[in-house]
Structure 1
C-alpha cells in the first residue's frame, strides 16, 4: 500500500502540462513569433523571454492550453527558442511559461505570456470574387460577391481591401456565394479580395488563399464633400451681400439727409433776388455807353477854336 502511494505521488505532483492549463503566480514571460501567418511545411520560431531573479528550471511552450514543447532552464539565460514545424493543425493561440524550484524542491509556476495567434494560410483553394461594377462614384453602392468552393464547411467569409479586413460574415451550410454591399466613399478606391476559414476537429483555424484581386476605381466628386463646401460658401456670400446692401442703403440715406439739410439752410430772399436779377438781365439788357471816346473828341475841337 505504501509502495503504491509512493509510485502515485510523482503523477500527482506539478508538471509542465499543468502550467499550460493551470498557470501559477510568478510574473509572466513574453512570447514572440517570427511570423504570424504561415503555410504548411514552413517553420516558425517561438521565442520566450524570461525575466526572473531565480533560475527558471523549465521553459514550456503551449498551444491552446496544451504543451507542445519544453526545455530546461540554464543559468544566466533569458531567452529560449523553439522551432515549430507547421502542419494543418498548427493554427491557434501560443503562449509560454516557466517553472522554478524552491529550496524544498517544490515547483512554482509562472503566469502564461500573453497569447500570440498563428494562422495557417494557403492550405485551402482560393475563392472567386466578383464586383457588380469596377468604377463608381461616392455615394454609390457596389456589391462584392465571394464564391466559395470547398469540400469542408467554411466557418467564416472575409472581405479584404488592400490586404486589410473590411467585412466578415458567418457561413451557412450549403451556401456557396456570399455578398457584401459596400457604400462607396473617396477612400474606397483599391484592390479587393476575399477568403474563407475552416475550423478543424480540434477547433484549429485554417485559412484559404485569397481570391485574385479586383480593382475598384472611384470617380467624380463626393456629394457630401461638395455640399460641405458649397453650403458654407453660400451662407458666407449671403451674409456679405446682406452687409453690403445694408451699407449701401445707409450711405444713400445719409446722402439724402445731407441734401435736405442744404436746401433747408439756404435763405429764401437770396434765392428770389437772384431769380429777379436773372430775369431782369435777360429781359432788359443794359446798353453799353462809350463816354470816354466822346470826351476825348470834344476836347480836341475846343483847342482848335482858340
Structure 2
C-alpha cells in the first residue's frame, strides 16, 4: 500500500511539463489581442521594435457574395515567420511567411458577418523559441451593404410597382361609377353593375 501512491502525487517531471505548457501558452500569445508593445522581446536585432506592417483592402464597402482582396505588406528585412490577419481583435487568417516575400494576400468571400475592422501583423520565432509580435497595421473598416438582389427580383419589383400605379386610376373610376348609380337601382335592391355604360 505504501508504494502505491497513484495520481495524487506528482512526479518531478509533471510540474516541469506543466510549466512548459504554461510557458508555451504565454509564449504564443494571440497577436490580435496582444500585439507587440515594445517590451524587450519585441525589439529587433538593431535595437528597434518590430515595425508594423501595412494593410490594404481593394474595396472598403462590399455586398454579400463579393470577393475582397486584403494584402499585408511588411518592410524589407522584417524577420517574419507568420503573417496574421485580424478582424475586430480576433485572428481570422494566418499565413506562413516566406523568406524574401514582402506582400501577403488573402481573398475574403464577403458575407453579412464580414463587416468589421481589419488589421494585420506578423510574428517571429527567435532562436530561443520566443514568439515576438509586431505592432498591428492601421485599421481598415469593411462595410457590408445588405444582401445583393438578383436581376429577376428587381424586374419583379418593377412590374408589381407598375401594376399598382396602373390599377389605382382604374379602381378609382370603378368606385366613382358605382357610387353614382341611379337611385332607382338602389331602391330595387339590385346590386349595381359598375361596368354598365
Cα distance between partner residues in 2 of 1:26 and 1:163: 44
Superposed CA deviations along residues 43-85 of structure 1, whole A, max 9, x for unmatched, are xxxxxxxxx78xxxxxxxxxxxxxxxxxxxxxxxxxxxxxxxx
Look up the match of 2:36: 121
Q: 1:109 to 1:131 in 2, by over 3 A?
A: same
Q: Tell me if 1:210 matches 2:136.
A: yes
- Identify the residue that residue 185 of structure 1 maps to in structure 2: 111
SS of corresponding position for 2:65? coil
Q: Does 1:161 align with 2:87?
A: yes
CA distance in 1, matches of 2:145, 2:115: 9
> What is aligned with 2:14?
111
Determine which structure has greater relative contact order: mean sequence separation of CA pairs < 8 Å that are 6+ residues apart, divided by chain length. Answer: 2
Q: Which residue of 2 aligns with 1:140?
A: 66
Unpaired runs of at least 5, structure 2: 30-34, 43-49, 154-197
Kept in 2, the 8 Å contact 1:125–1:150? The answer is: no
* 1:121 Cα deviation after fit: 2.4
Gaps of 5+ in 1: 1-24, 28-51, 54-97, 99-107, 228-306
TM-score (norm 1): 0.37
| Displacement after TM superposition at 1:184 (Å) | 0.4
RMSD, matched Cα: 2.6
Q: Could you tell me how far 1:111 is from its partner in structure 2? A: 1.7
| Residue-pair matches, total | 124
Quick one: distance in 1 between partners of 2:6 and 2:134? 39
Q: How does the TM-score come out when normalised to structure 2? A: 0.56
Q: Distance in 2 between matches of 1:130 and 1:155?
A: 20
